[in-house]
């Protein structure tokens, strides 16, 4: 079985991949995400997420040519704007306030590079947010500190209370790594997944 490498420093993705029971390593991808986003400002959100997922996986193929490399990217698409990780408390509250009472799309792209081939899968989840006040959102952000999460929420924690409805094919894609699709891609490559 070839080495499995997750091209990510995300603790969320590491925890999700561990659920499959396969040995793997994590390496930081050699990609400047912010520069890529600026250069590709006219791309559709799905194209951008897929580009970044592929770039992350392929950024390690020179250093790890015999490994299977996994890259993933996640972003929020709302009214033609792309929301990534807010980075600050104020940024998180502003993102959430803009989306409160409305629906947005959470786009999670997955890329698997193996033996010179790249396989891509993208999950698009519709997130229907409750109408919420600035005070409620400030209280939420103070509790969960979702500063490193696309869209400024953590569904695995209190963030679930922000939503009326979630429409998705794979709940794990919401947390950053679509395991149903990943399992389907890894099994034909010889990874022993039940």
Residue 81, domain CATH: 3.90.950.10
Counting the structural domains of the chain, the total is 1
Residue 4: what pLDDT?
96
**Beta strands per DSSP E along 35-172:** 68-78, 81-83, 103-114, 117-129, 163-167
25 token code pair: 């390593």
Could you list the active site residues? 73
Residue 149 resides in a domain: yes
Residue 16 resides in a domain: yes
pLDDT level of residue 37 (50, 70, 90 thresholds): low
Q: Which of 63, 53, 56, 106 is nearest to 83 (CA)?
A: 106
pTM of the model: 0.90
Instruction: Write the pLDDT tens digit of every residue in 50-81.
Output: 999 999 999 999 999 999 999 999 999 999 88
Residue 43 resides in a domain: yes
The CA distance from 134 to 172, in Å, is 28
Residue 129: what pLDDT?
97
Residue in this structure with the two tokens 């033609």, named with its chain if needed: 80
Residue 50 resides in a domain: yes
Domain range for 30? 4-189
Residue 101 resides in a domain: yes
Residue 156: what pLDDT?
87
- Give the residue-averaged pLDDT of 142-155: 92
Residue 194 resides in a domain: no
CA torsion angle 98 100 101 106 (round to 10)? 90
User: What's the whole-number average pLDDT of the chain?
Assistant: 93
CA distances from residue 26 to 7, 60, 98, 167 in whole angstroms, order as listed: 6, 11, 34, 30
165 token code pair: 């409805």
Residue 101: what pLDDT?
97
């Amino acid at each position: 079985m070839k080495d499995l490498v997750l091209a990510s420093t995300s603790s969320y993705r590491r925890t999700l991949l561990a659920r499959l029971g396969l040995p793997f390593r994590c390496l930081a991808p050699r990609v400047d995400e912010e520069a890529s986003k600026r250069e590709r400002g006219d791309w559709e959100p799905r194209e951008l997420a897929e580009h970044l997922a592929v770039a992350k996986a392929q950024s390690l193929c020179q250093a790890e040519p015999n490994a299977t490399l996994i890259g993933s990217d996640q972003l929020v698409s709302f009214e033609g704007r792309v929301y990534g990780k807010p980075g600050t408390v104020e940024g998180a509250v502003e993102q959430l306030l803009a989306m409160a009472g409305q629906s947005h799309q959470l786009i999670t792209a997955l890329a698997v590079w193996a033996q010179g081939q790249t396989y891509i899968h993208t999950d698009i989840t519709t997130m229907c947010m409750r109408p919420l006040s600035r005070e409620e959102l400030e209280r939420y952000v103070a509790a969960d500190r979702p500063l490193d999460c696309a869209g400024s929420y953590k569904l695995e924690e209190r963030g679930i209370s922000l939503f009326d409805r979630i429409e998705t094919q794979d709940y794990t894609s919401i947390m950053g790594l679509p395991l149903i699709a990943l399992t389907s891609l890894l099994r034909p490559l010889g990874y022993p997944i039940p």
